[in-house]
Structure 1
Amino acid sequence: MQALLKFSRGIDWLNSLVGKYVIWLILASTVISGVNAIVRKAFNYSSNGFLEVQWYLFAAAFLLAAGYTLLQGEHVRVDVVASRLSKRAQIWIDVFGFVFFLTPVCLVILWYGIPFFIQGYTSNEMSSNAGGLIRWPVYLMMPLGFGLLLLQSLSELIKRLAFLQGLIDDPTAKKAEKSAEEELAESIRRLAEAAKGHDTSAAKAD
């Protein structure tokens, strides 16, 4: 079990890293959307490529962050009955869900998603829209996203089994950590301060 817990910590680290950086895709999608609107209004020019890259970025953020969302316990839950049960009973319900629902769903999607991506990659499939983009990069997000979700499912299963054995504290307890959104806002603030400091130094040099 100690080896499994070490494996679980590695998965948690991986999905934490992915979640930390994937959120920038939302910012990129927002910026592209704004630039597209400005160019369309100011120069009467637009392209389906601008729209599709937004969809691609959103799909990547949604799928790649699925494992991170599970790690943070932020998936939608309906605990009308389970919330009235003991903590051990709630953990057993989670174990049942991971083993018989989440893991099989991830495996099925990987079973169909990987060949779907390979087919799109080998055929170099392009969007049917005028000015559209190549399709295989967004197809790749399906096996990558559900692969990360499958790994996190295994990590959560390991942690719950370890809790039932009394080896670790409650893995479902919320930790007082900064969210990915808060980290993104802080990163943007630091970049803005750095840019401001650079401009001030340049002005003094002039």
Structure 2
Amino acid sequence: MEHLANALDKVNMGVAYVVRWLALAMMLVQFTIVVGRYAFGANSIALQESVLYMHAGLFMLAAGYTLLVDKHVRVDVFYAKATPEVRRRIDIFGHLFLLMPSMIALIYWSWPSVRNSWAILEGPISVGGIEAVFLLKSLIPAFSVLVMLQSLALLIRLLAVKET
């Protein structure tokens, strides 16, 4: 089972390796937008939307990796002072009854919108923008799948630990 967990980890590590470059690209495009606007009086809706797309892609696609490296937001009212065994039980409960059902619900409720967006190849958010809202909406199920894969990997490891 450890091999399966490692393979699932590699999926999110690979995705994170690729999307991390969006942070640099986003900064460079935003710099170009600012220089263009204030130095040359030029403006581009498509460039502005590209920053939105990159930002969404970076955060939605790297969420599974964030869970992998344990840098996600954690409400640790009880967790911080708990014993390792209690933390393990909290994590198992969280993955099985909170995270997984939330991701399944998110896929279920977003899928009709994503499907319809692809069916019509939904156009830009603003006039003159990027003609690919269908790609932006596709980030929602992609986010959910990547987080569920990482949750499964963590759950495999949590269940493999012998109770003390």
* TM-score category (smaller protein): over 0.9
Check the 8 A contact 1:48/1:129 in 2, yes or no. yes
Specify which of 67, 71, 75 is matched with residue 68 of structure 2.
71
Query: Which one has more relative contact order, counting CA pairs under 8 Å at least 6 apart?
Result: 2
Specify which of 73, 85, 89 is matched with residue 88 of structure 1.
85
Counterparts of 1:129-148 in structure 2, within 5 Å, are 129-134=126-131, 135-148=133-146
Partner of 2:54: 57
SS in 1 for 2:20: helix
1:136-174 Cα deviation digits (max 9, x unpaired): 1111111111110011111111110012368xxxxxxxx
Counterpart residue identity of residue 159, structure 2 = L
In structure 1, runs of 5+ residues without a counterpart are: 167-206
Partner of 1:32: 29
Q: Displacement, 1:41?
A: 2.2
In structure 2, runs of 5+ residues without a counterpart are: none
RMSD over aligned CA atoms reads 1.5
Q: Displacement, 1:125?
A: 1.2
Query: Quick check: which has more Rg, 1 or 2?
Result: 1
1:68-96 Cα deviation digits (max 9, x unpaired): 00000001113232222221111000000
Q: Displacement, 1:40?
A: 1.6
Q: Displacement, 1:128?
A: 4.4
Counterpart residue identity of residue 21, structure 1 = V
Moved over 6 A (4+): none
**What is the CA–CA distance in structure 2 between the aligned matches of 1:150 and 1:40, rounded to whole Å?**
41
Q: How many residues align?
A: 163
Of all paired residues, the percent bearing the same amino acid is 31
Partner of 1:157: 155
